[in-house]
Amino acid sequence: MTHIQSPFKTLAAALVLATTMPAMAETLAPVKDIAVTTELSAVSNATAAAYWATLDTDLETAIATRLADRIGDTGAEISIDIEEVSLSNGFTEKLGLADTRIVGDITVKDADDDRRNQYYTLTIDVNRATPMMPVDTDVTTLPADTRVYYTAMVDAFAEGVVEKLR
C-alpha cells in the first residue's frame, strides 16, 4: 500500500522548520573582535620562538575563518593570552610531539549580552591536534617542527575556541 502524505502536513512541517531555523541561528553570538597575544620574548627557547613566530596572526585567522558568517560590528570580543612557557616545552631537550602544546587563557566579553561572557583556559596537545592532520599522516614519524604539525595545532586550538561559542 502506498502512503501519500497530506500536503497540509508537509506545509505545516515546512512552516515549523522555517520559523525555527532563524531562531536557532539567532542563538549563535555575533563576534566583533578576535585578539591573540603571545609575548614571544618570554619564550625561553630561540628555536621555539622562531617556530611559533606567527602564532598570533595564524590563530586569529583560523578562528575568524570559522566564524566568518558571525563577524560584525557588534557582538563578542574574544581575547586570547597564550602561555609562553608551554610553547617551549617541546623544544627544550629533544623535539617531541608529546610535550608540545598550546595553552591559552580565553576571555569572551559580550557587551550586548553578558550571559555570553566566558573565561576559561584551553589546552591543545598532540591528542587534540592529530584529527586535524591529513589522513595519511604518520604521527609516529612526523617531527613536531613540521608545518603539518603546526597547522594541526593551530586548527585544533581554533576549533576549541569556536566550540565554546556555539
Kindly indicate the confidence band of residue 71, based on its pLDDT and cuts at 50, 70 and 90: very high
Residue 23 φ/ψ, nearest 5 degrees: -65, -40
- 138 pLDDT more than 70: no
pLDDT in tens, 43-57: 877 888 888 899 999
pLDDT in tens, 139-152: 666 555 577 778 88
For residues 151-160, give the mean pLDDT.
92
Instruction: Please give the residue that has the higher pLDDT: either 40 or 9.
Output: 40
- 23 pLDDT more than 80: no
Whether the CB-CB separation of 75 and 110 falls below 8 Å is answered with yes
